Structure 1
Amino acid sequence: MIKRRQFLGSLSALGGGYLLGAYGQAFGAVASGASPDGTTIPSASVIIDKMGSQWTVKNGVIYRNGTTVGTTYNVSLLLWYGGKMWHIGTGGQFYVCADLDVWLPCSDPRVAVAAPAGMFYGINGHYDYTYTPAKLVSILKGLGCTTYRVGCTDDPAQISAVSKLAQAFQSNGLSLLVLINMGIYDSTGNLFPGESAAYNRGLQAAMAIANALKQYGVTMYECGNELTRQNATILDFTNAGTKVIDFNNLNWPIMRGAMRGMIDGVKAVQSDAKCGINFCVADIGAADALWDGMQPDGSGGHPKVRWDITTWHNYEVYGDIFNIGIDGSGPGFDLPTYCKARYGVPFMITEWNTGPEKAQDYRASYITKTLGSFYQQRKTHNVQSVMYYILDSGNNTFGIMKDGVALNPPYSAFASFISSNADN
């Protein structure tokens, strides 16, 4: 959450976020009777999922507890992998079982994909820090970070500040991920009247930002910040977002228009730039619908949102991203594996941390443990970068520095892990 006040407000709005994590842990025990990860039919005759349901294939059709699951035919392989059920037909296309037993096209989730080395370690910051660009470069190099995420609107003062950062980063071999901090509300705080208005505003802002930054080698943009988690877009903040019906159908086109406008604005200026869309908790219901041009009401044929990088926010209250819970009422699944197979683009965790109330010793331990988990998966899940939130929060909550002074032990835990685990 690039804006400090937005983050604190979002934690308050989530409310039940801690319950999501608790449910995910509780269902770990329930899942003990599930078939081993990677089980297939054939050679097994039955696959048991984490809910204890029995999956079978008869005459090329998939059944769960004796009842057909969606529409399937000519199924040659049923696969249990990463907490999800997948199948492939005689035509060679893979599918994954999504919300409401709909089978969505994807690639083989078992194929390991390694993101290019060199930008795995990242951190968030603000455009209005008192640190000079040179000082920030020095801090990042001291930490071992190669990627820095910063938000920017098309306000000239913000563009100027981020341009100076980009110039300093370019000459020092560091990467900048620029969050285009526009969304579904106009300058007065009101929702845009429709998809077209949101699109045009996003287009205008993205073109202004990309035009200013392209000369400094900026090639990565994140188009909007947590737009699926606004009051106008999520129906219940305690839902994990795995179902498209978790989202507001009326305001969905406004969000879609803003996202499309920002992507198109960047591409109009830099056709080879990479654009990301970020999601929270387990928002695959939103991601799938946007990707496929669907509305929460189930209607299709709408404009598709296609991004070059899938970006996600993963705070501790949301649960383990590699085994994240389903709306607090179902077992966990491997979200990056799902995204790798569904969208076929690199994956970034652009915000991660524990809660603001945690003690510094706890935060340090969480940093070490979580970086270890991310690092272990980087060569299989196409995890290109993980960006800690945040460098300096202006207090002792999220940051690892305050006014240029290291906050230990979190700072030391972060720097020590990076120095001991090469990004190669």
Structure 2
Amino acid sequence: MKLRLMVLIVLLASASATLTAHFDGARNRDGPKGPQVSTAGRIPFYGVNGHYVQGGVYSANIPQQVADMRAMGITSIRQDCYSTADTAKMASLVTSFAPIKIQPVFNVFPTTTDETTAYNQYYAYGKTVAGQLAGKVAVIEMMNEPENMYFKNGPSYGGQDVTEWATSNSQWPAFRGAVRGFYAGFRAVDTTKQTLIASPSVGWLHYGMLEGLWKGEAPDGSTGHPTATWDITNYHWYHDFGDIEDARGVNTLAAIRSLFNLPIMLTEIGVQKRVSSSVYNSYLASSFAEYASKAKTYNIVGVDWYELYNFQDIDGFYMGLYRSPGVVNTGRATAMASAVAANPAP
């Protein structure tokens, strides 16, 4: 009788432990990094940046915005979102922008320093956003340039190692929890990857931040932390950074291709400092030629020019291809149309 009772107790304990582990895993841990999903034909290769939710020129006259993009051969528009209300708005605009595809950025950063709290909050965000957008958009991004918009201090050098953010180490656990939580929450709803998820975007040589997330490393040099995952590595590169294949002797495209072995999206490329019209147009042509010709080498699946319309005044310089809907900046829209035509999407 005692033996039977002991066996029963062991079996019950084992079943309870299994159930608890399953529940905790579903709620608090990331799933395994599954097989890569093909991006072929799913993500528009040529896109531009827009700012619908910020108002102004981007919040009016959508038919003309679509016409302007189509005139240049552009097929997607990247839209920043700062809440689940904004992502719901994007879901409602999918038909209005068609055939142009909307590419949302969930640009929300943690307000806590606790990893578990951030994970749970972003798990809920991920489930909500997936319910709104899964299958309606090809890709969604997690956070825009956290090294500039979230962390209080920049890297101590180029940013190729996560330890260069040591002075911001207190912010790291919540950041990691947020990235892990959003992906897991989204995948809890979108289990078949109807919509792919891009990593937080970083620029210059800051891929050390992404490597730290990917490998479970922290800025204080500690290892063995929970790892983050994504479907596409997201990067930014501008004219003043120089050559992306040779910046301070570093081939950034080769580095992030080797580190993550995932498709790459360049969701912001452009000219952000005052240059002449000829330099602007020349950079547009050369960068599109470079990325299209190297797409197979590095598995580049999309490039998004910054930006469609004049929006932000940077010391009297605007980055837009158009001044406003239907009103071109001299030469820029023509240069874009020529670049797209000369470099067919891979």
Give the TM-score category using the shorter length.
0.7 to 0.9
- Equivalent residues in 2 for 1:337-416 (5 A)? 337-394=254-311, 397-404=318-325, 405-416=327-338
Q: Is residue 121 from structure 1 mapped to residue 46 from structure 2 by the alignment?
A: yes
Aligned to 1:334: 251
TM-score where L is the length of structure 1: 0.64
- Equivalent residues in 2 for 1:215-364 (5 A)? 217-230=136-149, 232=151, 234-236=153-155, 239-247=157-165, 248-271=168-191, 272=193, 273-277=195-199, 278-325=201-248, 332-364=249-281
Encode CA deviations 1:196-248: one digit per residue, 9 max, x unaligned.
Answer: 23223323333333322236x21311011111334635444x73211222112
Superposed displacement of residue 317, structure 1? 2.6
Equivalent position SS for 1:398 = coil
Superposed displacement of residue 194, structure 1? 1.4
TM-score where L is the length of structure 2: 0.78
Q: Distance in 1 between matches of 2:128 and 2:64?
A: 27
Residues 119 and 146 in structure 1, CA contact (< 8 A), matched pair in contact too: yes
Residues 316 and 353 in structure 1, CA contact (< 8 A), matched pair in contact too: yes
Residues 207 and 269 in structure 1, CA contact (< 8 A), matched pair in contact too: yes
Judging by fraction of residues, say which structure has more helix: 2
Superposed displacement of residue 160, structure 1? 4.5
Match for 2:108: what amino acid?
M
Q: Measured at CA, do residues 254 and 160 of structure 1 come closer, stay the same or move farther in structure 2, by a change above 3 Å?
A: closer
Aligned to 2:106: 180
Residues 240 and 273 in structure 2, CA contact (< 8 A), matched pair in contact too: no
Q: Measured at CA, do residues 165 and 295 of structure 1 come closer, stay the same or move farther in structure 2, by a change above 3 Å?
A: same
Q: Distance in 2 between matches of 1:130 and 1:230?
A: 23
Q: Distance in 1 between matches of 2:146 and 2:184?
A: 17
Q: Distance in 1 between matches of 2:129 and 2:69?
A: 23
- Equivalent residues in 2 for 1:33-44 (5 A)? none
Stretches of 4+ aligned residues off by more than 6 angstroms: none
Residues 194 and 254 in structure 1, CA contact (< 8 A), matched pair in contact too: yes
Equivalent position SS for 1:379 = helix
RMSD: 2.3
Equivalent position SS for 1:367 = helix
Q: Measured at CA, do residues 310 and 234 of structure 1 come closer, stay the same or move farther in structure 2, by a change above 3 Å?
A: farther
Equivalent position SS for 1:221 = strand
Residues 198 and 232 in structure 2, CA contact (< 8 A), matched pair in contact too: yes
Q: Distance in 2 between matches of 1:167 and 1:269?
A: 22
Q: Is residue 154 from structure 1 mapped to residue 83 from structure 2 by the alignment?
A: yes
- Equivalent residues in 2 for 1:52-91 (5 A)? none
Q: Distance in 2 between matches of 1:407 and 1:226?
A: 27
Residues 229 and 280 in structure 1, CA contact (< 8 A), matched pair in contact too: no
- Equivalent residues in 2 for 1:90-109 (5 A)? none
Q: Measured at CA, do residues 421 and 256 of structure 1 come closer, stay the same or move farther in structure 2, by a change above 3 Å?
A: same
Unaligned regions of 5+ residues in structure 2, if any? 1-37
Encode CA deviations 1:280-337: one digit per residue, 9 max, x unaligned.
Answer: 1112222221111111222111110111000001112323211122xxxxxx122222
Superposed displacement of residue 270, structure 1? 1.5
Q: Measured at CA, do residues 393 and 255 of structure 1 come closer, stay the same or move farther in structure 2, by a change above 3 Å?
A: farther
Superposed displacement of residue 256, structure 1? 0.9
Aligned to 1:108: none
Residues 231 and 262 in structure 2, CA contact (< 8 A), matched pair in contact too: yes
Q: Measured at CA, do residues 115 and 319 of structure 1 come closer, stay the same or move farther in structure 2, by a change above 3 Å?
A: farther
Q: Distance in 2 between matches of 1:371 and 1:214?
A: 29
Residues 115 and 383 in structure 1, CA contact (< 8 A), matched pair in contact too: no
Encode CA deviations 1:95-153: one digit per residue, 9 max, x unaligned.
Answer: xxxxxxxxxxxxxxxxxxx9735722111111232334333322221111122211113
* Number of matched pairs: 294
1:144 aligned residue (66, 69, 73):
73
Q: Distance in 2 between matches of 1:207 and 1:390?
A: 30
Match for 2:290: what amino acid?
S
Equivalent position SS for 1:348 = strand
Q: Distance in 1 between matches of 2:308 and 2:142?
A: 21
